[in-house]
Structures are given as structure tokens and as C-alpha cells.
Amino acid sequence: AAIICAVVAVTITLLWCLVPTYIVSGILLDTRVCAAISNSPERIETGADYSSCERYAKVDLSKYEIADRDEWEHVSFDARGGDVKGLRAWWFSPNKASGPTVIMVHGTNSCKNRYEVALPATMLADRGFNVLALDLRNQGESPDTNGYQTIGVYEHLDVLGAADWLREEKRVDWARIGLWGASQGTTAVLHALRAESKLGLGGVMLDSPPYGMLRAWEEGVREQTGGILPWSIILHFLQTRTGVDMVANDTPNVLPAIAAVPGRRPRHVKLLVVGGKEDKRVTHAQHVALADHARALGFDVDTWFSSTIAAHSWGGNHFGARPSDTTCREHITQMLVRPGVYAQRLTAHFARALDLDI
């Protein structure tokens, strides 16, 4: 009887450790449907993303919408290496086709249609930058593969495919290509910089970047579960389900590899890191840690960190304390709270990097 009880106890313990952690790993890797898929450059809304957060549910962004349908178009291209074909993107070309261009990369469970990309894309286009805003594999309108995200290990091939399309179809010089990424999309940008030595001279901007997706995930799991699930087992499932060594390919290890790429001089890569100080999804400490590490490696780093919870108004929008604020994650919201300042920082950074007179 004692042996049977011991076996039952061990079985229950194993089930408790393995089943919930396996489920959690699947949730972290899952690329769910983009809630804002109905958005376009002509209509940028926030309600689908903030249905439970009143402060951001109805932000009026009409000032930044593009009224003329002829100013942008749908395009498609393949990932570098051709493992994914028919990636979807928006192409804005207010400048000559081969002019200064910024590739824009969304975060996880997102797409180019979400305000996080659509809004800065129209801000850049309005100031004369060409913009290529893409949907990564498994997300938005791009093809599904296995439905998993891999912290940039495979997604960076989509970013390189975008750069190759610009080079081949639009004849854009490498030095005239800038990179912008939000949240987990920044991992794809960083992996692209590691893989392609010619990228980076056109400037890089990272909005709300994790200093390691593993750290962001671990902090999130701890917050949601009270720390009762062993992270080491979750990490094991993350790696076995994707076939990716996520530790070796996380940001703290990727940044030094970018700096060490043959022929690259980090001081020639102008990097702007921005983020909200109250970010609950990717903490402000992570934004700062990434910027500090990049600066220590010799990159030309600038930062803009600001509060996103202070009460103020702009246009018809008022940002004040409301009961639903506890559900607001304050992630990638600087552009909603201070769009004018965001537009100025965004365009000034790429104008400096791409040598564009705006």
C-alpha cells in the first residue's frame, strides 16, 4: 500500500509539473489571430486591442490616417531562403521608389494592421519616408507555417526577405534601409542585423523591446501564476517544441554577435530605444538594460523613456485616471499618449540615420 501511495504521489507531482507547464509553453509560442486585422492606413483604431481598457479603447488617430488610397499598396515577397512564400506587406512610396525606406516589424499576436505599426508607418510616410510594413509568418495576412513564434530565429528571414525585395524590386541601397520593430518584433530585427552585415547603417528603432524574450516570458508567467510553475520545465518545452536553442538566441547573446559581425562598426549603427516607464508586459528595466548593453558594445544609442499614465489631453482625447486602468498593460502606448512627440522622435531619428532633409 505504501508503494502504491508513493507511486500515486509521484505521478500526481509529475502531472502537476508537466501538464500545466506544457500548456503554458504552448500559450507563449502561439501566434493568435491579430485583433486589429480590419485596420488599414486609412482607418487606424484601437478598440479591438483595448476592449477592457477604457483609456485606450477609442483614441482618435484620424489626424494620422492616410486619406488617399493611391498613397499605399499591398505587396508580397518571399522570406530569404524561400522557406515561406507570399509574405504580405504594405508599401508606402511618397519618395522615389529607391529613396530612404524603413522596414517595420510588428510584435507577437499582432500584425501590420495594428496601430503599433500602422500609426508610425503613416507618420513616416507623411514626412517623405518610404515604408515597407510586413506581416511576419504565422501572423496577419502572411502564410501559416507551424503557428509558433521563435523569438526571431526564423522570423528574421522574413525581415531579410523584405530587405531583399527592396533591393531587387525597388533598387534601394543597403545604406538607405532603416529598421523599426515593436516588442517581440525587435527580436526579428536584431537577428536580421546579426545575419546581414549590410543592414544597420540606415538606423534602427526599437519600441518597447524585451531584453530577452525569455526574461519577459518568465516575468509574465511568474506574475500570472504566482511563481508556482517551474520555469526550467517551461523553458524545456519551449525549446523542444520549436527546435530552437532559445537561450543562445536570446537578446543578451544576440547583441554581442551583432557587434562582432565582420565589417560592421557598431558606432555607425544609430539605435533609438523607446518605451513607457509603466510598461507591465515588457518592463521598463528591460528597455534600459537593452540600451545599456548596446551602448557598452559601442553602438550609437539614444533613448526616449516617458510615463504613459500621466493625465493630459490632445485633440479630442483625454488621458486621465479611469476604473479600467488596472487592465491597461501600458505596452507600446507612447505613440498613443504622445503621438506628436513620438512622430518627431521617430522621423528625426531616421532622418539623421538616412540623411533625409525633412
**Higher pLDDT residue, 106 or 31?**
106
Please give the model's pTM, rounded to 2 decimal places: 0.92
**Higher pLDDT residue, 108 or 178?**
178
Judged against a pLDDT cut of 90, whether residue 312 lies above it is answered with no
- The reported pLDDT for the residue numbered 97 is 81
**Higher pLDDT residue, 340 or 319?**
340
Judged against a pLDDT cut of 80, whether residue 323 lies above it is answered with no
Model pLDDT for residues 75-104, shown as the tens digit of each residue: 999 999 999 999 999 999 998 888 899 999
The percent of residues in the chain predicted with pLDDT above 90, rounded, is 71
- The reported pLDDT for the residue numbered 11 is 58
Let me know: does 159 contact 106? Beta carbons within 8 Å. Answer: no
Mean pLDDT for 182-191 is: 97
- For residue 272, name the pLDDT band (cuts at 50, 70, 90): very high
- The reported pLDDT for the residue numbered 224 is 85
- For residue 1, name the pLDDT band (cuts at 50, 70, 90): low
Model pLDDT for residues 7-65, shown as the tens digit of each residue: 555 555 555 567 889 888 988 888 777 999 999 999 999 999 998 888 898 899 999 99
- For residue 148, name the pLDDT band (cuts at 50, 70, 90): confident
- For residue 309, name the pLDDT band (cuts at 50, 70, 90): confident
Model pLDDT for residues 217-268, shown as the tens digit of each residue: 999 898 888 888 889 999 999 999 999 999 999 999 999 999 999 999 999 9
- The reported pLDDT for the residue numbered 336 is 94
Judged against a pLDDT cut of 70, whether residue 162 lies above it is answered with yes
